[in-house]
Amino acid sequence: MKTTQAVLPQPESSNLVVAISTPPVLFTQEMVSITKQEHIELTHQANYWQAQHSKAKEKITQLEQKVLCLEGKVKDLKNRLFGKHSEKSKYSGSSEKDEAVDPPSGREVNNLTARGMAGQRAPIYP
């Protein structure tokens, strides 16, 4: 047993030495008794929370896999929409060609000559 000594000052009297004994605190050596019902209940709670933890870990791994899959899809769709191949223009050259009206295709030329409108522009329908 460990003992410590403390000196407590007393007004206008001699100093007294007081011995204070403190028992060692070792929680691992203390015995606690519980009833069988309490033991069963604590065991049940421990098993329940362990099962909940394992279910949560499993769900987290599934959701992480789903996130990776969806991120891959987003990346693929962005590449399709904004990728190098999708950004190519019809015409390669100056902007004058972009502003010019496309010449009518062969079918449109044939339709215009059949209607007697060979020299006129084709009507534009919205």
Q: Using CA atoms, how far apart are residues 62 and 54, in angstroms rounded to an integer?
A: 12
**Tens digits of per-residue pLDDT, 8-46?**
555 555 555 666 777 666 777 778 899 999 999 999 999
Cβ 16 vs Cβ 8: under 8 Å? yes
Q: Using CA atoms, how far apart are residues 2 and 80, in angstroms rounded to an integer?
A: 78
**Tens digits of per-residue pLDDT, 89-98?**
666 655 555 5
Which pair of tokens denotes residue 91? 């015409």
DSSP assignment letter at 13: S
The residue count for the chain = 126
